[in-house]
Structure 1
Amino acid sequence: MALVYRTMMQLAGILFCLLGWVLSCLTTYLPQWKNLNLELNELEIWTMGLWQACVVQEEGGMQCKEFDSFLALPPELKISRILMFVSNGLGLSGLLLSGFGLDCLKIGEQQLDLKRRLLLLGGILFWISGVTAIVPVSWVAHTTVQEFWDENIPDIVPRWDFGEALFVGWFAGFCLILGGSMLNCTVCSADAQSSSVHYTVAEEQDNCQYLES
């Protein structure tokens, strides 16, 4: 029963991590990190991402333009690009490592300690991946809030607002951290169970030796 519960928890954790990794990759390339709705022209909505700025027109669809230079970007967008790449890479590494450490995978059945270490390492990588996904999203959100409430900017000037990609990034980071925590919990429960089994076996052996004497 405990083995079935641990296996189901591992599968749930790996599914959460897979979902978080896919959403993290999607967040990296979505152009809706910031939205700008011009009150003078409500038919146009400007959006900005890590790679391009787009304008959405009611009649003409979406037109986007890539940023000309990485060095010309604001600091939060520069660091966000790097951190999102790190998050995606760590998430992929975590999927590969933890996949080989799952109990339902028949490969390496005789090397249980190695499988647990791979699962634990994968869970830790998912934690770091989740944090590195949440940090850039939260940083861009923080700068957006500061600029929105900046009293030095006249009220007539349009302000950037939160884009949909920020919420996708927050959810991705949450899924990665949750999935990594579930995987690590199964490793800890397996270690505790094996320790109790070894203790019970040793106690029974001591009792048998006492009876024989």
Structure 2
Amino acid sequence: MDERWKGVFKIDPIVPSLPLPKEFYQQPTLELAQSLLGCLLIHQTQEGVLSGYIVETEAYRGPMDRAAHSFGNRRTKRTEIMFSEAGLVYTYTMHTHCLLNIVSAGIDEPEAVLIRAVEPFTGIDEMYKRRKVPVEKNLTNGPGKLTKALGIQMSDYGHPIYEPPLYIAKGNTPAAISAGPRIGIDNTGEAREYPWRYWVTGNRFVSR
């Protein structure tokens, strides 16, 4: 591992090869959002293995959550995958950026967890080429930044996150987890106050 990227984790130098099982994603959405912290997001690309430890997530609880795309059971071409089984990728575009979400809850329970930030692990030189930024902490400290760095695209919509080439593997348990309101959802009434954003306490790659 590049010495520049020593974070809060004690990292095994070998990238785990086994994806977390499908059953891992069947836990309640708020629990899943916290359980994903410290896990390793991996994308096998032609340029090599790009990966990073998940350090920030946001939970979106569907029909009862004004901040969720599926609020009120809104079912559109974009949100259709949210009504499927847990563990599938839900990608969407915001301000030209692709964002990565993991579908959670049960079928016809359209909930999801947004991956907000990762701590880079492997393929760092390739990430620099993709992001074209000089500052280390800006490489993957945001939902649009991490997808560009790891080469995650809208075409990954519907992909099972428990299968290569894009998958999540077991990582390291954070020493501490913080929680607070989600970001960028000002016009969502009481939902903007829900403390459903979770992050690894003290990690420098958290988006804010």
Q: TM-score scaled by structure 1?
A: 0.29
**The structure with more radius of gyration:** 1
Structure in which a larger fraction of residues adopt helix: 1
Query: Structure 2-normalised TM-score?
Result: 0.29
Structure that is richer in strand per residue: 2
